[in-house]
Each structure stands twice: as structure tokens, then as C-alpha cells.
């Protein structure tokens, strides 16, 4: 039965794996002119039955994208690069200002509110899953300046 299904639908298993990550509320921070970097946020949920291991990220508007987390060290909020992120079945991971986020380095152009950009995640299985992201103003999210400060010396 299983073998028959696999023969008839050889791509079904792959497609299912692709679909197992659900993205919500994906957005990238609008930046003033001449800012080289930005940050992205989203909520992702693993709807599949297997753990998903994210090993990298990319965007069509940035030279490179890193997964970061924010940790308090000696009373200061510091960003740390994550080399990967494992998401268990049913697990929901939030990327939000002040916590986990995507750092977009080397913006190709100025991000203006309302723009649509693309965020992709590379998985350990060599698959890539992409989602649209909306460019929004940061508003009540005060860590934008921290990002710029932190990365301006790199
Ligand atoms: Cu960061």
C-alpha cells in the first residue's frame, strides 16, 4: 500500500515536506535611506510529522540573511547568530522584535512600507521553503537602532 502510493505519487512526500512549515505575519522592517541592513520577523509553525531543521535563510532583496537571537548578557541585550534552528512537529517559533529575528545584510534597495519581498529558508534536507514578506514600519519596535549599531562595525 505504501509502496503503491509512493509509485503513483512520487512527489507527494516531497511536497508534503515543503508544506509542513506554515508562515504567518511575515514582515521586514522598512528602513530610512542609506541603511544597509534590516530585520525580518515571522511566526513559523511545523505542521508536519517530522522535525524541520533550518540551516540558513536568504532573501531576494539582501546579499545575505542570518538567523539571530537576542540574549541578555550582563544587563545588555546582545544579538547572537544562530547556526540553525530545529522545529519539532507542532512547534511554533516566533521571530519578533527583541527576540529571534532575521538579519538582512546588504539591502539591494531601500525598503519602503508596502513592498513585497521574499524570505526563504534552507533546510538540512537541501529543500528551500519561501514565503512573501511585507515591508512595514517598525513603529513600536525599538531595536532597529540596536541592529544598526551592532552591525555598523562589521
Ligand atoms: Cu540581529
Cβ atoms of 67 and 44 closer than 8 Å: no
pLDDT value, residue 106: 97
pLDDT value, residue 11: 47
Q: What is the DSSP string of 118-129?
A: EEEEEETTS-EE
Weakly modelled stretches of the chain, pLDDT under 70: 1-19, 139-154
pLDDT value, residue 16: 46
pLDDT value, residue 101: 97
CA distances from residue 37 to 8, 75, 146 in whole angstroms, order as listed: 46, 25, 11
- Cα(40) to ligand 1 centroid in Å equals 9
Architecture of domain 26-151 in this structure: Sandwich (2.60)
- Cα(108) to ligand 1 centroid in Å equals 18
Residues near ligand 1 ion, CB 5 Å cutoff:
68, 79, 103
- Cα(1) to ligand 1 centroid in Å equals 48
Domain ranges of the chain: 26-151
pLDDT value, residue 138: 79
Q: What's the predicted TM-score (pTM) here?
A: 0.77
Amino acid at each position: 500500500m505504501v509502496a503503491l502510493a509512493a509509485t503513483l505519487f512520487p512527489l507527494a512526500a516531497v511536497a508534503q515536506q515543503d508544506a509542513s512549515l506554515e508562515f504567518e505575519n511575515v514582515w521586514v522592517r522598512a528602513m530610512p535611506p542609506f541603511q544597509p541592513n534590516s530585520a525580518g520577523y515571522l511566526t513559523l509553525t511545523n505542521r508536519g510529522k517530522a522535525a524541520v531543521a533550518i540551516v540558513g535563510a536568504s532573501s531576494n532583496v539582501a546579499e545575505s540573511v542570518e538567523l539571530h537571537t537576542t540574549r541578555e548578557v550582563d544587563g545588555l541585550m546582545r544579538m547572537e547568530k544562530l547556526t540553525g534552528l530545529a522545529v519539532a512537529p507542532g512547534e511554533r517559533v516566533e521571530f519578533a522584535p527583541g527576540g529571534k529575528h532575521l538579519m538582512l545584510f546588504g539591502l539591494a534597495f531601500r525598503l519602503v512600507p508596502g513592498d513585497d519581498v521574499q524570505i526563504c529558508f534552507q533546510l538540512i534536507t537541501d529543500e528551500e521553503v519561501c514565503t512573501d514578506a511585507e515591508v512595514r514600519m517598525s513603529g513600536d519596535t525599538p531595536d532597529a537602532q540596536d541592529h544598526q549599531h551592532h552591525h555598523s562595525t562589521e
